[in-house]
Structure 1
Amino acid sequence: MIGKLINFYSIDGDYMYKVLLDEKELPKKWYNITPDLPKQLSPPKGDRVKDLPKIFSKHVLKQETSTKRWIKIPKKIREIYREIGRPTPLFRARNLEKMLNTPAKIYYKREDLSPTGSHKLNTAIAQAYYAKKDGAEYLTTETGAGQWGSALSLACSLMDIGCKVFMVRVSYHQKPLRKILMQIYGAEVFPSPSKETEFGRKMLKKDPKHPGSLGIAISEAIEVALKNDNVYYSLGSVLNHVLLHQTIIGLELKKQLEKIDEKPDIIVGCAGGGSNFSGAIFPFVKEKLNERLDCKFIAVEPTACPTLTQGEYRYDYGDTAGMTPLIKMYTLGHDFVPPPVHAGGLRYHGMAPQLSLLVKEKIVEARAVKQKDIFKSGILFSKAEGIVPAPETCHAIKVAIDEAKKCKKSGEEKTIVINFSGHGLLDLKGYEKYLSTEE
């Protein structure tokens, strides 16, 4: 490989800026971290466990509880992965390195290049595929900033099934373009809390101007699934099968780093429920546990919703109404309602059980950052690399910049990898508010 021979330079001496994989190199299996976790994962419990077969399609429910290390990716899903642009490229942020005057090497994995602009399609396609296989007429779901709702809307369209999305009310009004995108793909979109469900009406009766939360939106989506035959609920983060599907990111990333003879010293990603970050790091975690890799994994969340940094590690409901089983995870409490900040997503009260366990065991480090700082970092990245990151992705960029500045002080040439989870071209209203108020 050219990268191995000449350390990321081409033969004529020019810089190489990206590492590509051939379509034939697309992974054929997802990686399930459950059997490799340092401790056994605590199972869901409570009366609601019995409702799981009604809520989820049988295929994803089987994946949720699987202890197999590798799970085959169906041919149809691999074909669609290729259609939406997988494998995705790994870029070197050379201009950002120059602006920071750091000896660190900064790479970013481009999950923003999917049709809906984020990593979310990796699991949306899989979940819609299995729902169709199991006879679903449509899927219900929630969405915060709209990335997940957009992805599932497209996935359902590709699989020719319907989609109903309950969008957190504050985001519904702050991000109308995401709503329009979902509607273009054929989805019905409701501001949550909504008048469409019993629980939504209950919340609106208490507060007609309720800003909403992911916990409330989840409750509404699950209620619809429970009350209708041939309808399943679909979640965009948190659960084991969702993180499983996202490991396509880390598996590709491993191949790309091997091509240029690099080992990551730091992998950083934003964390709201944990799917994009976990998808990037899980294929590397086993190597760290076996002491074959010395890498720091940093999950970054907002100070407005500090689940990992200030939450408790305990059993809690995944939704506000208590319709889900009790799940052991880091949580701020299922009745937590985050402030309506304009940074968008990363507002969930809980965190993926698998990721929570890794944080508890100190294999993953968690950090919380302020909204003002993440937008400042996102603008710096945009000026350097030309790509406008999603506000969620800016959280990861902020910490990557912090780590690169530390390298400037120490003189260390560390390799820092950012999982670039999504672009911000439909989030410009948030940037506008920051630029006009700098808050």
Structure 2
Amino acid sequence: MWLLVSFQSATLLVYLKYNIVSIGSGGVALPVLALFVGASVVLFLALWMKDRLYVRPHLFLFLGLMAWVAFRVVYDLGDLDRLKALTIATTGGMLLFYLMGAALRVGYQQLVQDERVRWPITLALSLVVFFLVWILLEFSGRLHTRYFLLTGIDGGYQRPGNFLSIVFLVFSFLFILGALKTQSLSSRLKSEVLWVTVYVAVAITMLGTAQLMGSNSATAVIAGVTVITLALAVFAPRKKAFLSYARGRLALPLSKRLLRSMALSALVGLVAVVLGVAALITVTGFELERLRVLGFGAGRISSLASRLDIMMEHGAAQLSYAPLLGNMNVAYLTTGSAGRTLHSFFPYVMANLGLVGLALVLLLFLTVFLQLYRESKQRLSGGVYAYRLNLIAIYSFLILLYLLVFANLATGVSWVVLWFALGFISQPVTFQSRWLEADQRLSFRGKTN
């Protein structure tokens, strides 16, 4: 089982790696993606044979959204290629990346549940670091002579930037789980410092990689996820925190102690990252004007400014064109250019899918957030496993909330990072072993008595 989980994770990382290093030349390594799908199917069937299968209701909300997208594309555009691009394509396929995230979560959840096995976590983290080094070696011969940018990109940075964001999301979730399991809820300072140092080093390296690729989106995702991860990682493994939880003195998720600790940890983590970047700039003599995020010295973030300009100039016209049912061709019909779509998640959904689509999206995310809130409060028997589930649920809530906020600043509906994260975090299909069900029943009886 663990070899199968490891193989599933490794094939996804290999697929993402090859598509990152092929920046500027389109998608590659489809056979590797097929291996990931095959491994996921085998893992699903193996777990189905020994555990109970549960399908969460929000899966049907997502499928309803996909059905509405398909109807609007066919009715408004009559373009099956556009439908493929929005659903199953490897660049903007909402359905494909949602299912990829859900499939990977099946393997991740086995790591969460198993108290004995830790080596797959170490292996997966090591693989991410290995592939990051491999990516940098591949990029080393493509550096621009003037800017901190790769040559030969030709505007094709969004796809590999999204894939780099997904790699970092997976790495961060593995890091949180590793911090909870490997440190064994101890308060050993050396262990904590080592884990945090490795994570910060990887985060800074990936920030630099994102800028090399010219992806401001990946830069923002990595920066935000880093702060959230460090905020929880410093607090979560501490023995005092767990003892307070076990004695009922730590009321998750809205504990004042947790919120204070996370705020302080986030501040310390942010300072650590900023100091690390500042130290690199000082040592290397790097000029900030070479970064795309600063507009190569223009003094403004051009990608964000252009999105804001479209919203200000054409937002009202697109939102009011077909407010109830939407129109997938609204950008062309109102501006004369299909490319001038609204790069803001909720407004894009409203303009293109109408109030019907917006209601489906809002209900979908609301259901997932409520699920995570319930999971962050559920105590089971009050042991280490329950504590781990609570903290992972809190972490998932914060990550998904951050990605949703960022999507409303800079992306449309086909931002695959958000859909991958939604599939991974929401666990639309999950398996539960009988020992865990028994633990839940005992907990319920104890509360009743």
Q: Given the two structures, how large is their TM-score scaled by the length of structure 1?
A: 0.27
Higher RCO (CA-CA < 8 Å; seq separation 6+):
2
Structure having the larger proportion of residues in helix: 2
Query: TM-score if structure 2 supplies the norm length?
Result: 0.27
Which is strand-richer, 1 or 2?
1
Of structures 1 and 2, the larger Rg is shown by 2
